[in-house]
Amino acid sequence: MNNSSQWIRNCVVAIGVVWLLAACATVNSKHPQVMSGKITEESKAQLATVYFIRPKVDKSKGMANDTVRIEFKEKTLLTQDEGTYTLLYIKPSKGTLKVHSKTLYADQRAAIDVWRERVYKFIAGRTYFIHVRQIDEEFRGVFYEPQPVDLREAKQLIVAGAGYFGNARPSGAARSAPIGELTEVNMPPASAVKELIPTMPENLYQQENPARKTK
């Protein structure tokens, strides 16, 4: 291998290491529904096992790549970077799960906070896979929704894609229980998740900018 090829390979590896260190998910351990600290196998049976998966998206750039904030029962649950997945143990509960992000509406210069939401009932002993899915509505902006998926779909979301370093890497507790090593899980019933009618971005823009009109 010549010096030029070695240099290029070293650069690729270095960039990958930086990406792995930079991309993460930060859990709010003080959220009242989150069980943190050392969790025994016995206690896991009394909790919902919840994976949040935010894979890298091809051709995504700018504000769409920024960290999203995920809220449950009106309190921040975690923040998550693109290209990561993480694991939370959540106490049995029911509430609205929202994914907040920033986007631009039409040709306006000021970014607004937007969200998509679903009602989740977290059941003890069940395993949830939540795809933080990007929705590109073009001139209306980019949104993220908390979409439920099964184990097979979750494994597809985290596998290596066209990029050298793959689609989603485990962060936090997920490093000790990676999705790729799961074989059988006890999924929740379909009735545990309810889709809500989304708030239109034009209405959000008018709420945040009452003195201006959308075009």
AA identity, residue 4? S
143 to 28, 73, 180, 212: CA distances (angstroms): 22, 20, 27, 22
The number of domains in the chain is 1
pLDDT at 163: 46
Q: CA nearest 93: which of 129, 119, 71, 69?
A: 119
DSSP line for 169-197: EEEGGGGTS-GGG-----PPPGGGEEE-P
Q: 131 in a domain, yes or no?
A: yes
pTM score, two decimals? Answer: 0.82
For residue 64, the 8-state DSSP code is: G
pLDDT of residue 164: 41
Q: Is residue 2 part of a domain?
A: no
- Residue 13 to residue 15: CA distance in whole angstroms: 5
18: in domain: no
C-alpha distances in Å from residue 194, one per residue of 96, 97, 124, 135, 144: 9, 10, 18, 18, 16
Which pLDDT does position 21 carry in this prediction? Answer: 43
Q: Which domain holds residue 160?
A: 25-208
What is the torsional sign of CA 140, 83, 156, 49? negative
Q: Does the residue 159 lie in any domain?
A: yes
Residue 1 in any domain: the answer is no
Residue type, 17: V
Domain-embedded: residue 8: no
Digitized pLDDT (tens) for each residue of the chain, 215 residues in all: 555 555 545 444 334 444 444 468 899 999 999 998 889 999 999 999 999 999 988 765 566 678 999 999 999 999 999 999 999 999 999 999 999 998 877 666 778 888 999 999 999 999 999 999 998 877 778 889 999 999 999 999 998 654 444 589 999 999 999 999 999 999 999 999 998 877 666 666 555 554 444 44
Q: Is residue 191 part of a domain?
A: yes
Residue 175 pairs in a beta bridge with none
pLDDT for res 17:
42
Q: Please, what is the end-to-end C-alpha distance for the chain in angstroms? A: 58
59: left (phi over 0), alpha (psi -120 to 50) or beta: left
Of the candidates 90, 83, 3, 16, the one whose C-alpha atom is nearest the C-alpha of residue 46 is 90
What pLDDT, on the 0 to 100 scale, is given for residue 80? 96
What's the rounded Cα separation, in Å, for the pair 52 and 8? Answer: 34
Residue 105 confidence (pLDDT): 73
